[in-house]
Amino acid sequence: MDHHLSDDQSAIKNLAEKFTAEKITQQASAWDEQHIFPRETISEAADLGFGAIYISEANGGIGLGRIEAALIIEAMAYGCPSTAAFISIHNMATWIIENFGSSHIHKRFLPKLISMEHLASYCLTEPDSGSDAAALRTRAERDGDHYVLNGTKSFISGAGENEIYVCMVRTGEDRHAGVSCLVIEKDTPGVTFGAKERKMGWHSQPTAMVNFSDARVPVENLVGKEGDGFKIAMAGLDGGRLNIAACSLGGAQRCLDEAISYTKQRRQFGKTIADFQNTQFVIADMVTQLSAARALTYIAAQKVTEGALDKTPFSAMAKLLATESGSRIANDALQLHGGYGYLMDYPVERFVRDLRVHQILEGTSEIMRMVIGRSALR
């Protein structure tokens, strides 16, 4: 792997950092405190192509690889991990439609998803099937040229706000081969949404249940073939895990920068707290953990781009290391701020809350260890 960014990659990174500084960083605290969903800012991100990062140019996207996607998402997470993660989920759902959908589905849905006039959710988790994704129960029964859906999806980012829902549903009895993928539109009769979840973090995006009660979805909205759903869901998660790893990198970098700035200014016992060896040791660990997590994430991103045989365990390793290191770095940054770090006047407490969920979604840390361990022992 070439560990140096190309000129194009550097330009993409600089563009994303400039957008974040101008459009995200200064507003993120208010979005968090007031639970504002920044749809206008998200639309501005689409103007730069960030709604279709790894959608092919032939279909209207900007056709970048997973390294470039991680650079963009990491840059945006420096300002707001919650908003960066939302944009990454939209990209994952849109990629599923392009990569596995028919030309008819492409024509119907991709143009407005690429422009982010429409936003997409990824719907896998249910109240009784989290880590055990193949245990999902949302049922799609064939009735002529429609499927009739009944069931519930939970913890869905963008639920009630987004127009498009890429859903894994049960069309057969087999645990894995009985799962299929459907594109479902918000205004479909029988589709309703639960109340917004009251979350610890990720306040700039709505999260809720999606309910299906005899919702009729055209058979032509099937992505791939019947029985392909579990395979599609897992393929989407390789990239999704990279994206969440990148979100953790961006958030951790912000916390590290805030901690360095604060400890150079804060004085105790006649000198700055940065002058104490204890502080320097903490900072050293933060820098080392972040550098290691970043290196592994970008190695995994290249493997996913190339379709390497070991892309799945590497994506899992990247997510595991980046998310656990990210939360640790954020918590250390808060500790270095002392009591001030616990106040909303300083950004680190928001990052502690936002980064914590990264160890849960797109596969918990425990599931990542299972994926990695099984691959190593195979």
Which residues on neighbouring strands pair with residue 184, listed in sequence order? 165
Query: If you count them, how many residues does the chain have?
Result: 378
For this structure, is 362 an active site residue? yes
Distance CA 217, CA 58 (A): 28
C-alpha of 300 from chain center? 16
Question: 172-176: long-range contacts (C-beta < 8 A, 24 or more apart)?
Answer: 172/226, 172/227, 174/227, 175/134, 175/135, 176/134, 176/230
How far, in Å, CA of 17 to CA of 290, rounded? 18
Task: Report how far residue 42's alpha carbon sits from residue 51's, in angstroms, rounded to the nearest whole number.
Answer: 8
User: Beta strands 179-185 and 191-193: pairing type?
Assistant: unpaired
CA within 13 Å, CB half, 192? 7
Dmax over Cα atoms in the chain, in whole Å?
79
The DSSP line for 99-135 is HHS-HHHHHHHHHHHHTTSS-EEEE--BTTBSS-GGG
Residue of 98, 126, 362, 366 marked active site: 362
Query: Cβ contacts of residue 304 below 8 Å, gap of 6+?
Result: 66, 238, 239, 242, 311, 314, 315
Half-sphere exposure of 240 toward its Cβ, with a 13 Å CA cutoff? 26
Question: How many CA atoms lie less than 13 Å away from 280 in the CB half-sphere?
Answer: 4
Query: 6: burial class by Cβ within 10 Å (0-12, 13-18, 19+)?
Result: exposed
**Active site amino acids:** 362
